[in-house]
Amino acid sequence: MSATINVRYITFLACTAALGGLLFGFDIAIITGAGPFIARDFGLGDFQFGSVFSSLLFGCVFGSLAAGRLADRFGRKRLLVLVAALFALASIASAGAGSLSSLLVARFFGGLAVGGVSLLSPMYVAEVSPPSIRGRLGTLYQMSIVVGIIASYGINYLLRNVGTGNWRWMFLTGVLPSFVFFVFILLAPESPRFLVVAGRPEDAFIVLEKIGGSAIAHTQIAEITETLRIDREFKGSHLRPGVRRALIASVCLAILIQVSGINTIIDYAPTIFLSARWGIDAALASTFFVGVTELIFSLVSLWTIDRYGRKPLYIVGSFGMALCLLGLVVTIITNRFYGVPVLTLIMIYLAFFSACIGPVFWTLIPEIFPNDVRGKAMAVPVFMQWLANALVVLFFPFAFHAVGKVVTFGFLAAMCLCQGIFVMCYVPETKNKHLEEIEAYWG
C-alpha cells in the first residue's frame, strides 16, 4: 500500500498545516522578549504584567472551544484561512497598541487564532495522512511549534536595541509567517473527511486518489462513511462509565501539565534571568539556549516514545522536572540564584519536558478515548489545559514577587511530583496496543 502513496503531495499538505504550529509557537513566545519592554513603557505592576501574557491564553480557551464546532460546520480549510488572517491582524494590532487595554484586546484575538490552530492543524494533518505514515507526519506540527518559539526568541534578541518601541517591531514580524501560511492554505485542498461529511464524496475521492491512488481512495471513503454511521448511532447518548473515567484522567493530565510550570518558564524566562542578576541583553540571549534545548530534546522524543513507552517517559519526566525545580529552590536558599546555575537547571528542566512530557501528552490524550467519542471528548482536556495555562501565567508574576521564589518554585515542584504519581497510579501504558485494548482498560 505504501508504494502507491504520493509522498511529495502528502508532505506538502502536512507541512502546510504544520505552519499553523509555527505561528502557534511564535505567538506564544514572542511576548517573552517583548514583555520587559512593555512593562517599562506602560509602567506595569505584577498583575498587569501577568495580564499581558495571559490575555492571549484566555483567547486560546475560547478559540479551542469554538474551533471544533466551526470546523465541522464550515470546513477545516476555511477555518485555517481565517486563522491565518487573524494571526496577521492581531500582530498588527498588537504592534500599534496605544494603551494597555488595546494591547490586551489585540492579544486576546491573537489567542483566538492560537486556540483554533491548536485543534485545526493536527486535525487536518491526521485527516489527509495515510495510516502508515500518520505518526511521522503528525510530529511535523509538534516540531514546528518549537521552531516558532526559537524564531521568536531570535527576533526578540535581534530587535532588543532598535530603540523606543522595539517591542512593537517584535509583534509586527508575525505578519510575514502569517502571510506565508495564508497563501499555502489557499493552495491546499479541503480535508477529505469533511468533504464526505458535507455530502461531497466525489471531491473527497479526488483528494484521496491524489494521495494514494484509486484503490486506497475507495477504501478510505468506505471507512470514513462507516465511522460517520457509528458516530450518528452514538450521538446524544450518555457517557459510558469507561468514557467518564478516561475523561477524568485526561482532564487531570491537562491541568497537571500546566501547573507543573512549563509555560511560566517559557514565557517568563527573561524575567527569571533578570531576577537572577542577568542583564537584559544576557537574559534575552539566554532564551535562545532555552529554545535550542527544547528543539534537541523534542527530536529525542521521536526515538524514545515508541521504544520505552508513554508511561515510563511521563514518570521520568515528571520526577526529573521536580528535581530541577527543587534545585532552583536550593540555589535561592543558599544565595546562589544567579548566572550559570539557574540557566543550567532551567535547561535540564526543559529537556525533561521536551523529551518526556510535551510530546507524550499530545500522543496519549487521543489514545485513551474510544473511537466513537474521541473527537468530542478531546475538546474537554484541550479546553482545560488552555484554561489552566492562562491562570498559571496570569498569577505567576504576583506569586514570584509577592509570595516569593522559594514558595513558587516549591509549589511547581510539588505539582510535578503529583503528576508523576498520578500517571504511575491511574494512567495505562498504550505502547503497542490496539485502541480497543486501551478502551477495555477503562471498562
Mean pLDDT score, 140-164: 82
Whether 256 has a pLDDT exceeding 90, the answer reads yes
Q: Decide if domain 1-188 falls under CATH 1.20.1250.20.
A: yes
pLDDT at 287: 72
Mean pLDDT score, 324-339: 88
CATH 1.20.1250.20 domain span(s) along the chain: 1-188, 236-443
Whether 273 has a pLDDT exceeding 60, the answer reads yes
pLDDT at 2: 46
Whether 436 has a pLDDT exceeding 60, the answer reads no
Mean pLDDT score, 214-218: 81
Least confident of 95-99, 422-426, 430-434, 436-440: 436-440
pLDDT at 373: 62
Least confident of 93-107, 300-314, 341-355, 359-373: 359-373
**CATH classification code of 236-443:** 1.20.1250.20
* Percent of the chain residues topping a pLDDT of 70: 86
Encode the chain in three state secondary structure: CHHHCCHHHHHHHHHHHHHHHHHHHHHHHHHHHHHHHHHHHHCCCHHHHHHHHHHHHHHHHHHHHHHHHHHHHHCHHHHHHHHHHHHHHHHHHHHCCCCHHHHHHHHHHHHHHHHHHHHHHHHHHHHHCCHHHHHHHHHHHHHHHHHHHHHHHHHHHHCCCCCCCHHHHHHHCCHHHHHHHHHHHHHCCCCHHHHHHCCCHHHHHHHHHHHHCHHHHHHHHHHHHHHHHHHHHHCCCCCCHHHHHHHHHHHHHHHHHHHCCHHHHHHCHHHHHHHCCCCHHHHHHHHHHHHHHHHHHHHHHHHHHHHHCHHHHHHHHHHHHHHHHHHHHHHHHCCCCCHHHHHHHHHHHHHHHHHHHHHHHHHHHHHCCCHHHHHHHHHHHHHHHHHHHHHHHHHHHHHHHHHCHHHHHHHHHHHHHHHHHHHHHHCCCCCCCCHHHHHHHHC
What would the pLDDT profile of 24-73 be if each residue is shown by its tens digit? 888 888 887 888 889 888 888 878 888 888 888 889 888 888 887 787 78
